[in-house]
Structure 1
Amino acid sequence: MLDVDREAITDGPVGRVLLLLAAPLVAQNLVYVANALVDTFWLGRVSEDAVAAVGLSLPIQSLLGAAVVIAAVGTQILVAQRAGGEDGSGARRVAVNGALVALAVTGAIAVPVVAYPEELVRLLGADPALAGTTATYLAIIVAVLPVGAVGDTVENCFTAYGDTRAVLHVSVVSVLVNLVAAPALIFGVGPVPELGVAGAALGTVLSGIVGFVHILAYAAGIGRDTFRLTRDAFAVDLSVVREVVAVGLPLGGQRGVSELVRVLVVSLVAIAGGAAGVAAYTVGARVATLAVVPALGMQQAAQSMIGQNLGADAPHRARRTTMVGTKLVVVGFLALGAVQFLFAGAIADLLAPDLTATGRSLSVLYLRILAVTYWALGGTYTLLAGFNGASRTRTSFVADLIKYWAIRFPIAVAAVPATATFGAFGAFGVAVAPGLGWGVEAVFWAVAASNVVGFLGLGAYFWYTTRRGMFANAAERASGGDGAGADPADD
């Protein structure tokens, strides 16, 4: 039902094909969210400190995820372009060398983190009582980061070929493994000892290894035939390595700058809003994470579709894919935002029934502020898919740099009390001057403003670059030319 053949990607109805490609990816991302909640659910039955230990490790894991993006998404974009150009051997060569990039980059990062996890955790301002437990969890998770990065890179090759169901299958099997392994390792079953937080980490690791083996089996031709690695592809090609890094590095930088700001903003929320403010921000962040899942799935599908059409020398269709995808997401997110706005109180009560009156009031306010900007947040993902699919990944990096550092963070600083003294706060000892005393609401509006301004600015730049032949030039490059002299009218 959800199968999409290669011809449909380059010739079929754009909207229908996009939705069919995105549906398994949306389901996959929902599975990821569910998988992330497994540890919290079971550790919540151990102790508050156990839950806090996992929570404290999340900002570091998110920052390390930027390294995974370099190879995984860079490989996806290049494999899609070669697949669209009917260059199967080239696509397989990119896949293998992209996996090598993933292994090298994440391996270089994992070694020092595993060696000095407690020192790293303390940089976040963690309570000494929690630092040791958090470090144990983090070290176990990061030890297998290179395996996960290689697995994600190979998964993205299937996405690039339009086989998004393969990725969904792998994700479902992985989360099922974690659902069984996590409680067994946390609480102990039979000969398995009670491991607590370490058991939660080992359950996540085990599910990741199973997913890695599963996707490699598919790539070997066992159970799938859409994308298959052959022996001739297993050769180091430095030119391909450089190409993967050139395309993926800006995307890794994009992920890094956005995640770092999120860590710092949480510290501002703690200063300006106390426990009630942090609770409200957490409720909003969790809901927003679920809300963006459809947009993220649409972005991943659009990147593959755009790349394949550029490889097939169809720049007009690549542009149309971006426009149709953005319209679908914007309309859908307007409806989603309306529902959240109307039922903000019920959502807050469902997620955090024990909030104080102040915490609930702030949660409802933040949920409503987020709701009226969802259309911009979602539309940004598909606009960026257009740039990424055309290998213009530096645009994504610059866009997020402006969105988070030039708009969101400066406005959020206004939340800090005007009487605050200049000095270090929260994560990484970053120093800020006294704010304007606008309260934690300033952080909420900072998020909203950065979402809307970011979308409008990116939309204007998309119109400008497409008028100047961005997709026509990208199609020329994908087919082996240099793009010189491409006619903007072709786009």
Structure 2
Amino acid sequence: MKSTKNFGLWALAWPIFIELFLQALLGMVDTIMVSRISDDAVAVVGLSGQLFNALTTLFMTIAGGAGILVAQKLGSKRGEDARTIAIMGFTSSLAIGLVISLLLYTQSHAIAGLLHVEDDLLPLWNVYVRNVGGGMFLLATIASLSTAIRNTGNTRAPMYTGIAMNVLHIFLNYVLIFGELGFPKWGLAGVTVSDNVCRFLAALVLLYVFVHSFERKIVLFDLKIFNPKLFREILKIGWPMGVNMAGWLFSQLAIFAFIAMLGAKELAARTYMNTMESFCFMLGYAVALAIQIRVAHLFGAARTREAYSEAFRALYIGLALVTSNALLLYAIGNSFLRVFTTDPDILAIGHSLLVLNLILQPAKMLNMGMNNSLSAVGDTRFTMVVAIVSMSLVATGCSYWFGLQAGWGLIGIYCCMIADEILRGVVVLFRWRGKKYLLRAKTETRPPSADSEAAALPG
């Protein structure tokens, strides 16, 4: 069984941060390399990335719910249940990923029509979506395995895997896009080959770690395991998380479609800003992911008072980190933008977005930190309802009205995104302070000592 020392906030957070940093660095290098192909290629990668993110919610519904339960079961000393849940999370996510891969590979042109992709972008779109989308089952494998491994307290293995794969990905991108070192010059198609090769190797490494992550080694025969009772527990937590995530990502996809209607320059500017913002928020996001694992483990162990206070401790740390990073990005952001493009219109738009980012990032941290804490204790339906209402009316509806109809453009859309994050963040903050789920002491996963612990909660 994993030692509880693996579930300390910083022990969990720093490997996650390193992994996220490398992913963001890879994203920046990818964007720079793709920008050398054309701004149209950047626009295709940006828009298709939103599509891929939206579709990942279909398997992250299972993987996310399973991950939280793995941490809870380990906290309550039910290692066999944790093992069974992790296996079901992996096999179910893989099955869903295979269906998504088939859909994207065969229907890329039809999907382009739904997203109003410009005709000039269609050749690049079909190459990228068919090839990268066809490998989505590999992403499903990586996501489910990484989530399960992290929730055992082992956040280092995904980090080390990420380091190796990112180095390889940058190398393959370089030689396959530009035809260096005797490799063929494939342009955007080279990026798709690089993506799938690296995902395949990462999946193999994580699978090896996964089978050794529990007291009893996972063998091939175990992949047939299916426990209906435990699977219902996964769905109980996971489906609202999946709807929440899907709502956010489809909202972002709609917003990207609105931006695409504004023009290719606005779409390219938003794509460049996405890359830079990922650096700005990664420390806070690492803390948010770590606190979800920690709160779930503490909740499973009936240490409810500590779970309550740890959520606020993580929030304060995260707010300090993302605010500092937003200020730093504002100071150096214009120079970074010139790494991607020299187009004066795109640079002007980017400068305005850097100012708004000073408000957006702390708002995202508040929302993410409190949402993850509530999810860790199983209070996922409330966050789902709040998210769907706010994202539908404020993020998406207002973005369309102010961004397109009122003529505020990309600035108006950004203001609506900020309003959505603030609204949701404040609502879930008050929900956590109400301690509804923490005060539910008598559950199947928690020992009788939970009653005295819950009664001692502050507030």
TM-score by length of 1: 0.83
In 1, the alpha carbon distance for the partners of 2:118 and 2:244 equals: 30
State the Cα deviation string for residues 204-233 of structure 1 (Å, max 9, x = none): 111011111111122234xxx677643485
In 2, the alpha carbon distance for the partners of 1:56 and 1:343 equals: 26
AA aligned opposite 2:373: G
The structure with the largest helix share of the pair is: 2
Q: 2:371 aligns with which of 371, 384, 388?
A: 384
Q: Is the 8 A contact 1:472 1:487 kept in 2?
A: no
Q: Is the 8 A contact 2:161 2:205 kept in 1?
A: yes
* Corresponding residue number in structure 1 for 2:326: 337
* Corresponding residue number in structure 1 for 2:414: 444
Shift of 1:37: 4.0
SS class of match (1:86): coil
State the Cα deviation string for residues 387-423 of structure 1 (Å, max 9, x = none): 1111222233223223321222233233356xxxxxx
AA aligned opposite 1:307: A
State the Cα deviation string for residues 96-131 of structure 1 (Å, max 9, x = none): 111111022222222222222222123222233432
Q: 2:445 aligns with which of 478, 483, 486?
A: 478
Matched, 1:258 2:255: no
* Corresponding residue number in structure 2 for 1:8: 5
In 2, the alpha carbon distance for the partners of 1:401 and 1:21 equals: 30
In 2, the alpha carbon distance for the partners of 1:55 and 1:333 equals: 23
Q: 1:303 aligns with which of 277, 292, 312?
A: 292
Matched, 1:230 2:218: yes
TM-score by length of 2: 0.88
SS class of match (2:418): helix
In 2, the alpha carbon distance for the partners of 1:349 and 1:193 equals: 29
Q: Is the 8 A contact 2:90 2:145 kept in 1?
A: yes
**Unpaired runs of 5+ in structure 1?**
11-16, 418-434
State the Cα deviation string for residues 52-95 of structure 1 (Å, max 9, x = none): 44334222211112123212211210100111112221111111
In 2, the alpha carbon distance for the partners of 1:99 and 1:301 equals: 21
Q: Is the 8 A contact 1:322 1:386 kept in 2?
A: yes
* Corresponding residue number in structure 2 for 1:408: 395
Shift of 1:447: 1.8
RMSD: 2.9
Matched, 1:324 2:324: no
**Unpaired runs of 5+ in structure 2?**
none
State the Cα deviation string for residues 294-318 of structure 1 (Å, max 9, x = none): 2221122111111111121111111
Shift of 1:283: 4.1
Amino-acid identity (%): 18
State the Cα deviation string for residues 229-278 of structure 1 (Å, max 9, x = none): 43485422222233223322222222221122222223434556x55544
AA aligned opposite 1:317: E
Matched, 1:370 2:357: yes
Q: 2:171 aligns with which of 167, 180, 187?
A: 180
In 2, the alpha carbon distance for the partners of 1:292 and 1:134 equals: 28
State the Cα deviation string for residues 365-400 of structure 1 (Å, max 9, x = none): 221122034222112211111111112222332232
Matched, 1:489 2:455: yes
AA aligned opposite 1:163: N
In 2, the alpha carbon distance for the partners of 1:189 and 1:9 equals: 43
Q: Is the 8 A contact 1:415 1:441 kept in 2?
A: no
* Corresponding residue number in structure 2 for 1:14: none
Inter-CA distance 148–445: structure 2 relative to 1 (3 Å threshold): closer
Inter-CA distance 440–129: structure 2 relative to 1 (3 Å threshold): closer
